[in-house]
């Protein structure tokens, strides 16, 4: 620090205010460097988030994702071959969607030179070598068959299908049209399920978070000393977190299988239980099991964070405490814990939000059955199992709002705690 300047030179000690050209240039460079990230994040995160709000007030089913199409099939019936043969030129039209209308339906086809057309149906008109049929708006499930009598006037040189009919039709999609509904939200909130789902989510989140942090704290205490093999143990204890979730989830399912799982065989042989326990299929037990899995899978993360913080605590305070006769438990309670409180609370908030967001684990272990359906699993359940995309989106909106609340709390807290 330079010594304070005398008051006459006050300008030198106060940094210049406002933005000079240099600062503006620096800001320009910064935004240029950030632009690609901002752009891609906006497309892949912000857009979908906005889309979720839009979809949540639309009556969208899974089947609506494929826009309705006008299907036209064309054939020549009566096998006319020689000049003078009579036959029927037939078109079959169909709206591919059973319930969505298609607007301004019409099609055009080239009339083969060799054919002489008979009487045309009402919707069709021939001008020159072009046949045009128009139907206006057609409802969902609409079908039409057009038969045009023909006579072969010249040598048939090829199939009639050489020219395909050209279709004009405007299909509106539920995703983009003006129909709105609040039924999705009504469904989500009205059902008795909702309270249950919220309860399950809270249980899973709260106990999963606390459990993972407590276990992480123990593991960190174990490894906060140097001994031979410390590195190996630390690596081993991180395995649950590093391994693919699908691999460990299936390993747990097979280990705890009620019919042929080793855990049940072991428990029965040790005399703990008489008959096999269905860990992931019984009502209250399944929720406890998936929470235990969550704790098992994420204690490594907490332990890593806590260990890093522990190793940055200076050792001399413990030496001083030892000299003063503080016992190991006293040292833990009065020296270590206060030092760890900051990281523990940050971890709690982070893990709380992440556990709240967790989907894969429960989906793989129980599929949301046996009383383990959390909010995130409910999104999938509504959107894909019941095929009601709109309802799924409504649940997603509920999640997002919860999350905004958590985040607001988180940032208030973390800015105080960690000076972020």
Partner 1 sequence: MSSPASSPVSSPVSSPAGSPAAFLRHGTVTAALLGAAWLITLSVTVAVAMSFATGAAFRPNLLWSLVWGATAGVALLHLRYTSVIAAALIAATLWEPLSPMPMQATPTVLVIGAGCLIVGFVWAMHNTLAGLGTGANNRHTFEAAVIRFLTGFGYLFFTAIVAIPFWVMLMTSFKNRAELVANPLDFSLDLSKGADLFRSYEELFTQFNFGTYLANSFLISVATVLLTLLFAIPGAYAVARLRFSGRAAFSRGILLIYMVPMIVLALPIYIAFSVTGLRNSIAGILMIYPVTTIPVALYMLQGYFRGLPAEVEEAGLMDGLNRLQVIWKITLPLSLPALASVSLYVFMIAWNEFLLAFMLLDDPSTFTLTRGIASLDSSEVPRQHLMAGSVIATVPVMALFLGLERFMTRGLAAGSVKG
Residues touching partner 1, count (CB under 8 A): 108
35-54: which residues touch partner 1 (CB under 8 A)?
36-37, 40-41, 44-45, 47-49, 51-52
Plot region of 173 (φ>0 → left; ψ -120 to 50 → alpha; else → beta): beta
Establish if 252 lies at the interface with partner 1 (CB under 8 A).
yes
Q: What's the min distance (Å) between Cβ of 247 and partner 1?
A: 3
Q: What's the min distance (Å) between Cβ of 288 and partner 1?
A: 15
Report the largest interatomic distance among the alpha carbons of the chain, rounded to a whole angstrom: 119
**Closest by alpha carbon to 66, among 96, 104, 41?**
96
The torsion angles phi and psi of 75, rounded to 5 degrees, stand at -155, 170
Q: How many residues does the chain have?
A: 420
Structure tokens at 261: 């799982």
How big is the chain by its Cα radius of gyration, in Å? 35
- 165 vs 392 by CB, closer to partner 1: 392
- 2 vs 84 by CB, closer to partner 1: 2
Q: What's the min distance (Å) between Cβ of 155 and partner 1?
A: 43
Q: What's the min distance (Å) between Cβ of 324 and partner 1?
A: 8
* Among positions 5, 12, 20, 23, the unique one binding partner 1 when judged by CB under 8 A: 23
Hey, what's the torsion of the CAs at 351, 357, 361, 366, to 10 degrees?
130
Establish if 409 lies at the interface with partner 1 (CB under 8 A).
no
| Segment interacting with partner 1, rule: CB under 8 A, options 95-103, 108-116, 152-160, 241-249 | 241-249
* Among positions 100, 187, 309, 351, the unique one binding partner 1 when judged by CB under 8 A: 309
Structure tokens at 197: 């789902």
Q: Which residue has the tokens 């494929």?
A: 66
63-92: which residues touch partner 1 (CB under 8 A)?
65-67
* Among positions 13, 239, 341, 416, the unique one binding partner 1 when judged by CB under 8 A: 239
Establish if 154 lies at the interface with partner 1 (CB under 8 A).
no
Site string for partner 1, 202-231 (x = CB under 8 A): ----------------xx-xx-xx-----x
**Closest by alpha carbon to 403, among 356, 370, 365, 371?**
356
Cα distances (angstroms) measured from residue 112 to each of 75, 78, 166: 13, 16, 15
d(CA 182, CA 392): 13
Q: Which residues contact 49 (CB under 8 A, 6 or more apart)?
A: 400
* Among positions 143, 191, 322, 386, the unique one binding partner 1 when judged by CB under 8 A: 322
Establish if 304 lies at the interface with partner 1 (CB under 8 A).
yes
* Among positions 113, 233, 341, 386, the unique one binding partner 1 when judged by CB under 8 A: 233
378-397: which residues touch partner 1 (CB under 8 A)?
379-380, 383, 389, 392-393, 396
Establish if 318 lies at the interface with partner 1 (CB under 8 A).
yes
**66: β partners:** none
Establish if 34 lies at the interface with partner 1 (CB under 8 A).
yes
Structure tokens at 325: 């006769």
């Amino acid at each position: 620090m330079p010594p304070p300047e005398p008051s006459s030179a006050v300008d030198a000690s106060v940094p210049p205010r406002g933005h000079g050209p240099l600062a503006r240039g620096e800001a320009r460079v910064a935004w240029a460097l950030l632009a690609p990230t901002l752009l891609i994040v906006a497309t892949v995160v912000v857009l979908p988030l906005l889309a979720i709000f839009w979809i949540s007030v639309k009556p969208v089913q899974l089947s609506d994702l494929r826009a309705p199409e006008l299907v036209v099939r064309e054939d020549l019936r009566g096998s006319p071959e020689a000049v003078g043969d009579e036959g029927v030129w037939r078109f079959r039209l169909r709206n591919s969607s059973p319930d969505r209308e298609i607007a301004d339906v019409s099609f055009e086809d080239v009339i083969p030179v060799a054919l002489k057309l008979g009487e045309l149906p009402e919707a069709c008109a021939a001008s020159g070598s072009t046949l045009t049929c128009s139907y206006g708006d057609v409802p969902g499930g609409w079908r039409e068959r057009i038969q045009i009598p023909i006579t072969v006037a010249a040598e048939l040189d090829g199939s009639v299908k050489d020219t395909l009919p050209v279709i004009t039709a405007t299909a509106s999609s539920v995703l983009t049209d003006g129909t709105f509904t609040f039924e999705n939200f009504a469904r989500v909130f009205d059902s008795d399920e909702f309270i249950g789902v919220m309860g399950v989510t809270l249980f899973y989140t709260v106990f999963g978070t606390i459990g993972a942090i407590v276990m992480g704290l123990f593991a960190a205490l174990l490894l906060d000393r140097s001994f031979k093999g410390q590195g190996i143990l630390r690596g081993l204890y991180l395995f649950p977190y590093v391994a693919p979730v699908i691999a460990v989830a299936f390993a747990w399912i097979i280990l705890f299988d009620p019919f042929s799982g080793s855990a049940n065989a072991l428990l029965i042989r040790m005399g703990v239980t008489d008959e096999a326990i269905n860990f992931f299929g019984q009502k209250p037990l399944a929720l406890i099991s998936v929470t235990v899995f969550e704790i098992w899978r994420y204690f490594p993360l907490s332990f890593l964070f806590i260990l890093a913080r522990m190793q940055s605590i200076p050792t001399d305070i413990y030496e001083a405490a030892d000299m003063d006769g503080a016992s190991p438990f006293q040292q833990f309670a009065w020296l270590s814990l206060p030092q760890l409180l900051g990281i523990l609370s940050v971890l709690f908030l982070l893990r709380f939000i992440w556990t709240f967001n967790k989907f894969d684990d429960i989906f793989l272990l129980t599929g949301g059955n046996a009383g383990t359906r959390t909010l995130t699993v409910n999104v999938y359940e509504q959107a894909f199992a019941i095929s009601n995309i709109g309802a799924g989106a409504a649940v997603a909106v509920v999640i997002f709002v919860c999350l905004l609340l958590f985040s607001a709390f988180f940032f208030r807290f973390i800015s105080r705690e960690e000076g972020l």
